[in-house]
Amino acid sequence: MIERIVQSLKKERKNPFCAYIYDLSKLRHHVNQLMGTLPQVCRLFYAIKANSDLSLLKALVPIVHGFEAASLGEIEKIRAVDEKIPILFGGPGKTEEEIAGAMDYGVSLLHVESVHELQLVNYIAAQKGISQAILLRVNLNHSVPNAQLKMAGVPTQFGMEEGKIPSAISLVQSLSNVKLHGFHFHAMSNNVDGKTHAEFVDHCFGTAKRWQKEWHLDLSYLNVGGGIGINYREIEHQFNWGDFIQRLEHVLEKHRDSGYKVLFECGRYITSSCGYYAAEVLDIKQNHGQTFCVIRGGSHHFRLPAAWKQSHPFTIIPIEKWVYPFERPEIKETIITVAGELCTPNDILAREVPVSCLRAGDILLFHYAGAYGWAISHHEFLSHPHPEHFYIE
């Protein structure tokens, strides 16, 4: 269906085609499936850093339990589509203005990343005459080994070292304008193995329960973050949600005495599969023994492949019309590297990909482009035109 839509859109346009396409029906179906299988004690929040497009947020408002924001700007985007939906607020560098704004917008839980931030949150809450509900963000001693990107278990700017949490708990108990409701354990990004992810949740339970017992805490929430990923290398082998839920049920049964509500902050796994990036082939050339396909677009629109130094999966949409009176560049049974239009050798979206047939004027359709694509890209570099954005139902 997407291929036919792209071909139809191309017929209406003279200029080289370049667009993001979001399948909102696919998004709703996917997230409804997640929500329908999620255990009763769990809550699914969408981390809008993955894609804060307002049309996607509006589609998700009636489905998810809430949103996770990492800036005041993101909070404002959320409140622009819904005034009451629960918001979790995190991020390693919060300003006084952001913390105060988050309180004014009524965030449900504020994730505290350091002792200094803890005191700042208490100070601002005191000025407002409120008690702010918080989670302490923990930088665990160990993370998930399969994850492509780690926020914990290695030196990073995120959270407080596991060994320093007891002193933070002690400080919380001396402060009058914050209330500790639990811990935040977001530790990784793009883990595609359900078994290790369930083991991670189990470990988070054990750690939180140990602190609860030692410090006589009254806790309500265990935030295990997001980190459920997309397999960009082998798209036929994706995170097995059903297997993960079965394993999660066993973990929850093991720790049912805790009474915690378990919070998930998924971003990539929620929106990635509903988005596509389509870019027309401008030229095909050979340099130093390699074949390059140059597209109308690149990492200034879709930065994820270059940022993660990976080849992004795509399919070829053939476009038969050729308007020029000279020969059309064409290759067959060739290995190609897909390059963008930027003046840098780093503008690469895929490397050493075999194709059976490709011509200038055909369109490459990149799959799983609904997360960390347009939202993280350096749009203004070289001042090229922005892609179009389409939303289909």
Among 297, 285, 270, CA closest to 368 = 270
In terms of C-beta distances under 8 Å and separation of at least 24 residues, what long-range contacts does 195-200 make, across chains too? 195/243, 195/244, 195/247, 196/144, 196/145, 196/146, 197/144, 197/227, 197/228, 197/244, 198/244, 198/247, 198/248, 198/250, 198/251, 199/144, 200/143, 200/144, 200/224
Q: Cα–Cα distance between 171 and 152 in angstroms, integer?
A: 22
Structural element, H or E, at residue 262: strand 261-266
Across-strand partners of 278? 19, 365
The Cβ of residue 25 has, within 10 Å, a number of other Cβ atoms equal to: 12
DSSP state of 59: H
Residue 252 is which amino acid? L
343 labelled catalytic:
yes
Catalytic one of 18, 274, 343, 357: 343
Residue 78 is which amino acid? I
> Which are the contacts of 49, defined by CB distance < 8 A and separation ≥ 6?
68, 70, 74, 267, 375
Active site residues: 343
